[in-house]
Amino acid sequence: MFRKAIIVFVFTLIVTNMAFSQAVSIDAAISNAAREISQSVPNGTRVAVMIISSDFGNVSEYIINELIVSLVNTRVLSVLPRNTVELADIYITGTFTREGTANYRLVINATELASNIIRALYRTSILDDMQLRALIAESEFYQDYTVGERLGIGALNIFGGAGSITRGGRTGWLVTGIQGIGLISVIGGLIYGLLEVPPSQPDPLSPNFITQEDYRAAKDRYEFTTGLRRGLIVAGSAAVGTGIVVGFIIPFFHHRSDNSIAQYNFPFNLDLVSSDSRDINGFKISYSMSF
């Protein structure tokens, strides 16, 4: 039994050592990827690095920038700026993901723009060394609103949903509408019938003597006005209160924008579409500019 345990332990060490020996530093991986691409496409090919997606913004930007430098240093490729990908023969994309508990996986693709065929593919395990840990530590991770932040947004929502609106939450306008209707109702109730006074009992000695029938009509009108006024104020106050309650609740359904996947932010939306023309084969790029 003891011998079997020793064998398993030794085997585990060997496998672990092999796994780590196959992993390389991030700089070595970038250099190897650039070499693989330069050897897989003809000299003078125009290439552009588009996207390296990752959960770590600094890592993505580091890989993109260093890959551009490495490609330029090969002296055999024409490296174009990222925003001129429509002029490239080859566009380069990639992913950086976690692989197990100790390493990460880097995958780089070089795809021909005209045919959408992958011309080079490089993938390797990245060592979780001090350099990579520093890059990851400096990256901004996605973090949703905390409970305290949600309570703060709810408190600001007392003022017409201002908390949600300032954070980009469209539901804040729902609070604005509910409270707005409530305030209009309350103000209307306060103003309506403001000068209405209760009728006096009929007095034959008074110069403004009215009949009993006129008195009852005036009394009914006063009671109706008073009831309607009270109803508007109560309904408006309930609407304002509902707006406050809704304003406190909706922040718990808000979510902060997820910017954790760090990619190059192009000033256009890149899309590969098939050509409608019979005279042109392959693919073309359609994009819409945004300012």
In whole angstroms, what is the distance from residue 81 CA to residue 84 CA? 6
Phi then psi for residue 148, to 5 deg, are -60, -40
Domain ranges of the chain: 14-142+261-286, 147-253
Q: What is the mean pLDDT of residues 180-199?
A: 83
- What tokens does 24 get? 């390389």
| Identity of the residue numbered 57 | G
* 14-142+261-286 carries CATH number 3.40.50.10610: yes
pLDDT at residue 165 is higher than 60 = yes
Q: What is the mean pLDDT of residues 33-59?
A: 92
pLDDT at residue 28 is higher than 80 = yes
Cα-Cα-Cα-Cα dihedral sign, residues 52, 57, 62, 68: positive
Where does the pLDDT of residue 209 fall: very low under 50, low under 70, confident under 90, or very high at 90 and above? low
Cα-Cα-Cα-Cα dihedral sign, residues 176, 181, 184, 185: negative
In whole angstroms, what is the distance from residue 129 CA to residue 86 CA? 37
Least confident of 90-99, 143-152, 193-202, 215-224: 193-202
pLDDT at residue 210 is higher than 70 = no
**What's the distance, Cα to Cα, between the start and end of the chain in Å?**
71
Element (H, E) at 237: helix 212-249
Least confident of 59-68, 105-114, 280-289: 280-289
Length of the chain: 291
Where does the pLDDT of residue 272 fall: very low under 50, low under 70, confident under 90, or very high at 90 and above? very low
The pLDDT mean for the chain works out to: 77
Least confident of 108-112, 171-175, 209-213, 258-262: 258-262
* pLDDT, tens digit, 9 for 90 and up, residues 166-184: 887 778 888 899 999 999 9
Task: From 98, 141, 164, select the one nearest 259 (Cα to Cα).
Answer: 141
Rounded (5°) CA angle 56-119-284 = 85
Taking residue 62's Cβ as centre, other Cβ atoms within 10 Å add up to: 23
Compare 7 and 118 and report the one with higher pLDDT: 118
Q: How much is the pLDDT for 189?
A: 85
Where does the pLDDT of residue 142 fall: very low under 50, low under 70, confident under 90, or very high at 90 and above? low
3-class SS of residue 75:
coil
Q: How much is the pLDDT for 190?
A: 85
Element (H, E) at 60: helix 57-73
Query: Which residue carries 């002296």 as its tokens?
Result: 75
Spatial CB neighbours of 66, under 8 Å, sequence gap ≥ 6 = 27, 30
- What tokens does 23 get? 């992993």
Element (H, E) at 240: helix 212-249
Where does the pLDDT of residue 208 fall: very low under 50, low under 70, confident under 90, or very high at 90 and above? low
- What tokens does 6 get? 């020793």
> For the range 231-238, what are the long-range contacts, defined as Cβ-Cβ under 8 Å and sequence gap of 24 or more?
231/189, 232/185, 232/186, 232/188, 232/189, 232/192, 233/185, 233/186, 233/189, 233/190, 235/182, 235/185, 236/181, 236/182, 236/183, 236/184, 236/185, 236/186, 236/187, 236/188, 236/189, 237/182, 237/186, 238/182
